[in-house]
Amino acid sequence: MSNGPDADSFSRTDSAASMDSADAGQPRPLPSAFTEVMAQFRRYLEGERARSGHTVRAYLAGLESLFTFAAREGIETPAQLELGTLRRWLGGQSEAGRSRATLARHTATVRTFTSWALREELIATDPAVRLQAPKRERTLPGVLRQGQLGRIFERLSEAAADGAPLPLRDRAMVELLYATGIRVGELAGLDIDDLDTDRRTLRVLGKGNKERTVPYGLPAATAVDDWLRRGRPKLAAGHSGPALFLGARGGRIDQRQARSVVKELLEGLGDTSATGPHALRHSAATHLLDGGADLRAVQEILGHSSLATTQIYTHVSVERLRASYRQAHPRA
């Protein structure tokens, strides 16, 4: 069964996909067979596949868009879906201006659904076996330069100098994001016991509930220790539990809050197109490879299931090398 694209790409899917212009017209209630199978598919994604909330919502939004289109063609059950129906739906999405990345996500959604439906004997044959989507454009991720990172950490240290809890937390979060390359969702899910301060390693629960251990350096260790000693106790409350990072009201920090912190810092630089916490992940991976780290080691640190996903960072490193060559060599 195909695992589909990375959940990070699904999380960028328009949550209103089912109401997009490709499905223009007055919305109608879906046939009961479709709503029932969507509920079953949700349980499968959340349970057996252990997909994140973002990914589940993206899968279901795409599926609802397909079912809405199919219902307009007179189709009332998943068993009536045919390859032609799927192609016409994707064609409508393309005509509505959907990007190749969005069409690829929709295709992966349908393939995952029909494969599951076939296994559950909800359909007799899999109509998506020969469904093709345009190849996704692979753009090089934004990477921060060392000088830019230095300015970020300098700003964070200055803000945390007076010992206020939120600046201490923000410095520790950003240091840890860059030191380990973990995803922002993984950061938000960390507990205090996930830290091994003696070995300076972090136990991370990644996609599909896969656990990995990631090392971090002295600057991150110092920032996290400062947060635990001087910052966290000022925010901790009865409902804080074991969460490593807390919000202003004492609850576990959520991804939105962490994204907002990083977004503000990057915008403050004024000289980068990098956006969001993933820029720190991209930068960590690229800098590791630039420093001579083994590709397999970087794959393990990032928690990629496929080495092909990690290899995009080698492309970044090569581009940086070429840029340096063109700038420095007299006959470049």
Q: What is the pLDDT of residue 272?
A: 84
Q: Is residue 127 part of a domain?
A: no
Return the number of other C-beta atoms located less than 10 Å from residue 234's C-beta: 14
Q: What is the DSSP string of 212-231?
A: EEEE--HHHHHHHHHIIIII
Highest mean pLDDT among 24-28, 131-135, 267-271, 313-317: 267-271
Which member of 183, 232, 282, 287 is catalytic?
A: 183
Into how many domains does the chain fold? 2
Asked, for residue 124, whether it belongs to a domain, the answer is no
CA–CA gap between residue 332 and residue 329 (Å, rounded): 5
| Catalytic choice (207, 232, 252, 287) | 207
The residues with which 196 forms a beta bridge, in sequence order, are 201
* Identity at 84, one-letter amino acid code: G
Active site residue 304: yes
* Backbone φ and ψ of 212, nearest 5°: -145, 160
Q: What single-letter DSSP state applies at residue 20?
A: S
Q: Which of 106, 278, 282, 287 is catalytic?
A: 278
Q: Are residues 33 and 174 in the same domain?
A: no
Instruction: Kindly name the residue from 105, 281, 282, 287 that is annotated as catalytic.
Output: 281
Pair 173, 112 in one domain = no
222 and 85 fall within a common domain: no
* Of 178, 128, 131, the residue nearest 153 (C-alpha): 178
Residue 210 has pLDDT above 70, yes or no: yes
Q: Taking residues 77-104, what's their average pLDDT?
A: 89
Give yes or no: residues 301 and 240 share one domain.
yes
Same domain, 198 and 302: yes
207 is catalytic: yes
Same domain for 87 and 186?
Answer: no
pLDDT tens-place string over residues 141-190: 578 888 999 999 999 999 999 999 999 999 999 999 999 999 999 999 99
Structure token pair of residue 74: 């007179």
From residue 296, alpha-carbon distances to 126, 181, 301, 305 in Å are 35, 15, 9, 11
Q: Is residue 278 part of a domain?
A: yes
d(CA 79, CA 30): 15
109, 154: one domain: no
Strand partners of residue 243: 191
Domain region containing 297: 146-328
Residue 253 lies inside a defined structural domain of this protein: yes
Residue 183 a catalytic site member: yes
For residue 212, the domain's CATH number is 1.10.443.10
Same-domain check for residues 234 and 311: yes
Catalytic residue among 105, 232, 252, 304: 304
What is the pTM for the complete model shown?
A: 0.61
Residue pair 93/103 in contact by the 8 Å Cβ criterion: yes
**54 catalytic per annotation:** no
Count of Cβ atoms closer than 10 Å to residue 1 Cβ: 10
